[in-house]
Structure 1
């Protein structure tokens, strides 16, 4: 069964970027520390990354994050989604308007301008088709940014939430949660490694 999973790295004080993020400084000042685990040689970090990317049928991201990863200092063969792990999934971007051009033309981009629920519906359809073709269950992964995942959680669009809790206090930046309804999640797994703590919750 295809699930919708929010998956993001976060600091101990709840930020998904450091201060002053922007197109040329996507993770903000000091934010690179959030993703140390993704480049780690720790076998548990490698397993978490490999398993997550292998189950990614479609990946959703917001427009700000798209502008970062598609920008001149964004993704390449070394740093793209699950680089070196699996084939490239389809990507769905939530945006108010389509970009005039796309740098990463080798990736499968779909731009949804009618809101996050429609983006999730589109991504689920793509993931289910990919699942049928692959003969295995593949998921929809919301990789961020923080506003996209926080909005999806508040709207009841997530089946699970995976946080990669980095041992860093950033002091400021882009918060993952900015309010909303009180909610209790169900802890499903905790994997501590030498660089981070991977925690997955089911969202009732």
Structure 2
């Protein structure tokens, strides 16, 4: 069964970027500290990254995040979604208008202009097709940004919430939760490393 998994790194005070994020500084001031675990040599950090990317049949992201990762200082062969870990899943971008061009032409991009719910539906179909082709159960991963994940939780689209809680206080930035309707979460796992506390919840 294909699940919808929201997966994002967050500070102790609830921010998914530092102050002033933008195309040339996607994570804002101090925001790189949120992702120290991604580059860690800790065996648990490496396993969590490997397992998360290996289960990805399709990935959903918002337009602002797309502009960062496809920008001149964005992803490359060494830095990107699960770089060096897995093959390349389909990427589905929620946007009001598709870009005129894409820098990362080696990735499979689909641009959905009819809203987040339709983007998730598109991604689910891509993940189910990938599951059938591979013979493995693959999921849809919502990688962000924070507004997209918050909206998905608000709309009841998320089955699993995975937070990588970084030991940093950013003070300001992009908050993960902004007036989200109450949700009941069931804690499934907690794994602590030197760089993060990895938390997984089922969303009811």
The question of a shared fold, defined as TM-score above 0.5 by the shorter chain, is answered with yes
How many angstroms apart in 1 are the aligned matches of 2:152 and 2:182? 14
Q: Which moved more, 1:94-103 or 1:176-185?
A: 176-185
Q: Does 1:188 align with 2:172?
A: no
Residue 121 of structure 1 is matched in structure 2 by 121
Provide the secondary structure at the position in 2 that maps to 1:16.
strand
Residue 180 (structure 1) shift? 2.3
| 1:117-196 to 2 correspondences below 5 Å | 117-196=117-196
Number of residue equivalences: 204
Aligned: 1:23 with 2:46: no
Structure 2: how far apart are the matches of 1:34 and 1:24?
A: 17
User: What residue number does 1:43 align with?
Assistant: 43
Separation in 1 of the partners of 2:181 and 2:148?
16
1:193, CA displacement in angstroms? 0.6
Encode CA deviations 1:96-148: one digit per residue, 9 max, x unaligned.
Answer: 00001000000000000000000000000000000000001000000000000
SS in 2 for 1:36: helix
| 2:2 alignment partner in structure 1 | 2
What is the aligned partner in structure 1 of residue 97 from structure 2?
97
Distance 2:161 2:140 in 1: 12
Show the counterpart of 1:58.
58
Q: Give the match for residue 80 of structure 2.
A: 80
RMSD: 0.4
The CA distance in 2 between the partners of 1:96 and 1:114, in whole Å, is 8
Structure 1 segments, 4+ long, off by >3 Å, are none
The separation in 2 between residues aligned to 1:181 and 1:166, in whole angstroms, is 24
Aligned partner of residue 80 in structure 2, secondary structure: coil
| Unmatched 5+ stretches in structure 1 | none
Secondary structure (helix, strand or coil) at the match of 1:157 reads: coil
Find the aligned partners of 1:122 and 1:92 in 2 and give their Cα distance. Answer: 8
Unaligned runs of 5+ in 2: none
SS of structure 2 residue aligned to 1:137: coil
How far does the alpha carbon of each residue in 1:144-179 deviate from its partner, in whole angstroms, 9 at most, with x for none? 000000000010000000000000000000000110
Deviations 1:69-105 (A, max 9, x none): 0000000011110000000000000000000100000
